[in-house]
Structure 1
Amino acid sequence: MCGIVALWSPVGRLSAEDLAPIGVLRHRGPDAVARWVSPSGVAALAQARLAVVGVANGDQPVRDESGEVHAVVNGELYGYRQQRRELAERGHRLRTDSDSEITAHLYEEDPDRFVAALRGEFAFVLWDERRGRFLAVRDRFGVKPLYYTWIDGRLVVASEVKALFAAGAVRRWDAESFYDYLHSCFAPDRTLFEGIRQVPPGAMLRADDEGVRIVPYWDLDFPLADQVDGPADPAGIERVRERVEEAVLLRLAADVPVGFHLSGGLDSSSVVGVAARHVALRTFTVRFPGSPLDESEVAGRTAAALGASHHEVSVPDGLPGPAAVAAVTAGEMLQENGHGTARLAQAGAIHDAGLRVVLAGEGGDELFLGYQHLRTDLELGVSAERLARARRSYRLVAAGGVPATLTGALDRLGFLPGWLVDRCLTTTMQARPLLRPDLLVRFADRDSLGALVDRSAAQLVGRAPVHQSLYLFLKTWFCNYILAAERLDMARSVEVRLPLLDHRLFEATRVLPLADLRRGQVKQVLRDAMRGYLTDEVYRGEKRPFFAPAPGSRAAAAGELRRWLGRGHLDGDGFFDPAAVRAFLGRLERGSGPISTGEDRVLYLLGSVSALHEAYGLAV
Structure 2
Amino acid sequence: RGPDDEGYYTDFHASIGIRRLSIIDLITGHQPQHNEKEDIWIVFNGEIYNFKDLRTDLEGKGHSFYTKSDTEVIIHSYEEWGEDCVKKLRGQFAFCIFDSTKNILFLARDHMGLKPLYYYFDGNKFIFSSEIKSILAHSIEREVNLKSFSLYVSLRYIPFNLTLFKNILKVPPSSFLIFNLESKQINIKSYWDFNFNINRDKSASYLAKELKNLIEESVKIRLASDVPLGAFLSGGIDSSSVVGVMSKLMDDPVKTFFIGFEEGGPTNELEYSRLASEYYDTDHTEIVVKSASLPDLLPKLIWHHDDLVSDAAFIPVYLMANYAKEKMKVALTGDGADEVFAGYSIYYRKDYLSFAKYVPKDIYNLLLKFYDFIPSQKLRMALTYASQSKTEEDKFMRAILPLNDLSRIIPSQTYNVPEIIKKTFIKNLDIINQFTRWDLKYQLPNQYNMKIDKMCMAASFEARVPFLDKEIVSWSASIPSNLKLKNNIEKYILRLAMKDILPSEILKRKKMGFGTPINLWLKKELREISSQLLENLQKRKNIIQSKYVRLIKKNLIKKLFADQAWNLIMFELWYETFIENDGLNPINLN
User: Shorter-chain-normalised TM-score: which range?
Assistant: 0.7 to 0.9
Counterpart AA for 1:367: V
Q: Could you tell me which residue of structure 2 aligns to residue 363 of structure 1?
A: 336
Pairing partner for 1:62 from 30, 33, 44:
33
TM-score normalized with structure 1 length: 0.82
| Alpha-carbon distance in 2 for matches of 1:231, 1:342 | 41
Matched, 1:494 2:464: no
Please say if residues 171 and 618 of structure 1, whose CA atoms lie closer than 8 Å, have aligned partners that are also in contact: no
Q: Does the C-alpha gap of structure 1 residues 93 and 114 become closer, same or farther in structure 2, counting only changes over 3 Å?
A: same
Query: 1:331 deviation in Å?
Result: 1.6
1:58: Cα distance to partner?
Answer: 0.6
8 Å contact kept, 2:555–2:561: no
1:246, distance to aligned residue in structure 2 (A): 0.5
Distance 1:420 1:358 in 2: 33
Question: Which residue does the alignment assign to 1:191?
Answer: 163
Could you report, residue by residue, the CA deviation over 1:334-382 in whole angstroms, capped at 9, with x for unpaired residues?
454531111111121122x1422111111100111101224479x9xxx
State the secondary structure of the residue aligned to 2:242.
Answer: helix
1:474 counterpart SS class? helix
Structure-2 separation of matches of 1:64 and 1:554: 54
* Matching residue's letter, 1:165: L
Root mean square deviation, CA, Å: 3.1
* Counterpart code for 1:45: I
Residue range with higher mean Cα deviation, 334-343 or 84-93: 334-343
Offset of residue 229 of structure 1? 6.0
- Structure 1 pair 570–325 and aligned structure 2 pair: CA distance change class (3 A): farther
- Separation in structure 2 between the aligned mates of residue 503 and residue 527 of structure 1, nearest angstrom: 20
- Secondary structure of the residue that 2:179 maps to in structure 1? strand
Deviation at residue 292 of structure 1 after TM alignment: 4.5
The answer to whether structure 1 residue 576 and structure 2 residue 544 are counterparts is: yes
CA distance in 2, matches of 1:449, 1:156: 33
Q: Distance in 1 between matches of 2:190 and 2:100?
A: 23
Q: CA deviation at 1:495?
A: 0.7
State the percentage of identical aligned residues: 25
Render the CA deviation track for 1:103-157: whole Å, top value 9, x for unaligned: 1111111113111000011000012111222111001111100000025821100
1:481 Cα deviation (Å)? 1.4
Could you tell me whether the CA contact under 8 Å between 1:134 and 1:206 is conserved in 2? yes
| Contact map agreement 1:334 1:605 (CA 8 A) in 2 | no
CA distance in 2 between counterparts of 1:533 and 1:300 reads 16
Q: How many residues align?
A: 553
1:423 aligns with 2:400: yes
Trace 1:349-388 onto structure 2 (pairs within 5 A).
Answer: 349-351=323-325, 353-375=326-348
In 2, Cα distance between the equivalents of 1:104 and 1:554? 49
Which residue among 225, 229, 234 is the counterpart of 2:205?
Answer: 234
Q: Does 1:605 align with 2:570?
A: no
Query: Which of residues 288, 302, 325 in structure 2 aligns to 1:314?
Result: 288
1:161 to 122, 125, 132: 132
**1:466 partner letter:** I
TM score, norm. by length of structure 2? 0.86
Shift of 1:503: 0.4
1:282 aligns with 2:255: yes
Q: What amino acid sits opposite 1:448 in the alignment?
A: V
CA deviation digits over 1:368-406, x for unaligned, max 9? 1101224479x9xxxxxxx9x998779579746599xxx
Answer whether contact 1:360 1:499 (CA < 8 A) is retained.
yes
SS at 1:112 equivalent: helix
Cα deviation digits, residues 583-620 of structure 1 (max 9, x gap): 4333345xxxxx42x4221221121112111211349x
Q: Indicate the residue corresponding to 2:476 in structure 1.
A: 509
Q: Which residue of 2 aligns with 1:345?
A: 319
Mapping of residues 101-500 of structure 1, within 5 Å = 101-150=72-121, 153-184=124-155, 186-208=158-180, 209=182, 211-223=185-197, 227-228=198-199, 232-279=203-250, 280-290=253-263, 291-316=265-290, 320-351=294-325, 353-375=326-348, 399=365, 416=393, 418-424=395-401, 433=408, 435-436=409-410, 438-439=411-412, 442-443=413-414, 446-448=415-417, 454=423, 456=424, 460-485=426-451, 486-500=453-467
Instruction: Report the alpha carbon displacement of residue 580 of structure 1 after superposing the two structures with TM.
Output: 3.8
Opposite residue 490 of structure 1, the aligned amino acid is M
Contact 1:180/1:186 (CA < 8 Å) preserved in 2? yes
Partner AA of 1:52 in structure 2: I
CA distance in 2, matches of 1:241, 1:311: 27
Tell me by how many angstroms 1:244 deviates: 0.4
SS at match of 1:215: strand
One of 516, 537, 557 as aligned partner of 1:548: 516
d(CA) in 1 for partners of 2:307 and 2:358?
37
Deviation at 1:558, TM superposition (A): 4.0
Runs of 4+ in 1 over 6 A off after TM superposition: 389-394, 428-432
Q: Give the secondary-structure state (helix, strand or coil) at the position aligned to 1:197.
A: strand
CA distance in 2, matches of 1:394, 1:545: 35
Work out the CA distance in 2 between the residues paired with 1:321 and 1:151.
Answer: 37
Deviations 1:552-600 (A, max 9, x none): 276535432222245x3442474334454334333345xxxxx42x422
User: 1-side partners of 2:561 and 2:102: how far apart?
Assistant: 55
Please give the alpha-carbon distance, in whole angstroms, between the structure 1 residues aligned to 2:358 and 2:205: 36
The 1:258/1:429 distance shift into structure 2, 3 A limit, reads farther
Retained in 1: the 8 A contact 2:332–2:464? Answer: yes
Deviation at 1:453, TM superposition (A): 5.5
What 5-or-longer segments of structure 1 have no aligned partner? 1-27, 380-386, 590-594
- Which residue identity does 2:393 align to in structure 1? L
| Cα deviations by residue, 1:40-99 (Å, 9 ceiling, x for unpaired) | x22221111111001110111222223222111110101111211221122111111111
Residues 108/262 of structure 1: CA separation in 2 closer, same or farther (3 Å cut): same
1:477, CA displacement in angstroms? Answer: 2.2
The change in CA–CA distance for 1:30 and 1:151 in structure 2 (over 3 A counts) is farther
Q: Aligned partner of 1:191: which letter?
A: T
1:7 maps to what in 2? none
Q: 1:398 to 1:516 in 2, by over 3 A?
A: farther
